[in-house]
Amino acid sequence: MTPHANIMSSFTMTMGSFITIVLFLALLIQIHGKLGMMMMILTTTTKSRRQEQHGLEIVVVICLRGNGFMMNHTLFMIPHTVHLLRSFLIAKRMADHTNSISSIDGSLLGATYQRFNGKDFLRRYRGKSIMFEGDSLSLNQWQSLTCMLHTAVPHAHYTLVKTGGLSIFTFTAYDVKVMFSRNAYLVDIVSESIGRVMKLDSIEAGKMWKNKDLLIFDSWHWWLHTGRRQAWDFIQEGNHTLVKDMDRLVLYEKSLNRWAKWVYHNVVPTKTRVLFQGVSPDHLNAGQWGDPEANSCKGQTRPLLGFKYPGGPHPAELVLEKVLRTMQKRVYLLNITTLSQLRKDAHPSVYRGHKGIDCTHWCLAGVPDTWNQLLYATLIQN
């Protein structure tokens, strides 16, 4: 009996009815292929004592990719305890929204490149470990990659483990670990008697990064938070006097410079390849793309055309590129910013599963799949 069958055999009649509805929706979507680039995430929690004891919440995930670079589809279930997919990624994609992502990123690349091959990816990284280190946009890409790889080998056994801020998806037949570690700033924030202090000269989390075969870093989104969403009370650089705040781009550059030092002192290029995800843009201000009738990504149904974003380069991306140019050890920039800036239509928007509008994260399937297409192309071409 397969793992899926083992899980489903324990469901109550109510859960069985729920799954029937989901399968019907999957069949309906499959018949009406125009709904191609879409992911539906439907969650339910059973109330049995056994499941409450193990904190089990079943997440039903339908991965459908049509018109893009993935033509496969699959239906699988995972324990919610590993948080593979979060509720804010609920995506509603209509038929007239389904412009091919691959045609957009292909035109931006301006060259022929190898399309994503999940089996080949797993073979190349057999016995190796991949770690995504960053914020919720890094989580977005990790979720996408695990789904794309699972779609390529839907019957392959896997395990999912979450410990604190570390999630590990292991394809046991290939001995490939795809990990995500939540770390929004890369540098440390420690609790002291005066409050939370950001230490710009300290990266204790780097102990976890050592000896990985592939490291993919990300940081920017949380640097803009202020007020109660700000994660620190004071900032300290070396033995200098503590300050409460500073220009966020300056602060971002200082943290990246400290990260660059960590790479220089700890990465062995023959063992570990290092990439930086690049800056994932938001679409909170429609003025940036010149739409006087819009306020944000809400209601956007088409990507921007062309090769340049009307709002210009992202300031944080320019800072990131500046730091990477000064590094003595090679780090690949996964330059996802411009192609993502053009996708004002690709956010969860009002379909995030709770109140509010999300113009920061991305629907799955969607833009992060394109990031992983570019990741794959980078890995096999270099």
Strand, helix or coil at 130? strand
Measured over the CA atoms of residue 73, residue 76, residue 82 and residue 86, the dihedral's sign is: positive
Q: Phi first, then psi: what are they for 66, rounded to 5°?
A: -130, 160
- Separation CA 196–CA 220 (nearest Å): 19
Among 16, 192, 167, residue whose Cα is nearest residue 80: 167
Q: Phi first, then psi: what are they for 54, rounded to 5°?
A: -95, 5
| Residue positions annotated with a catalytic role | 136, 358, 361
Q: Is 180 exposed, middle or buried (0-12, 13-18, 19+ CB in 10 A)?
A: buried
Strands (E), the chain: 38-44, 58-64, 73-79, 129-134, 158-163, 166-171, 176-182, 188-192, 195-199, 214-217, 234-236, 273-276, 332-333
- Separation CA 8–CA 20 (nearest Å): 12
Structural contact between residues 25 and 38, judged by C-beta atoms closer than 8 angstroms: no
List, in sequence order, every residue forming a beta bridge with 191; answer none if it has no partner. Answer: 196
- Separation CA 22–CA 27 (nearest Å): 9
Angle subtended at Cα 139 by Cα 133 and Cα 141, rounded to the nearest 5 degrees: 95
Identity of residue 371: W
- Separation CA 70–CA 178 (nearest Å): 20
Number of H helices, E strands in the chain: 11, 13
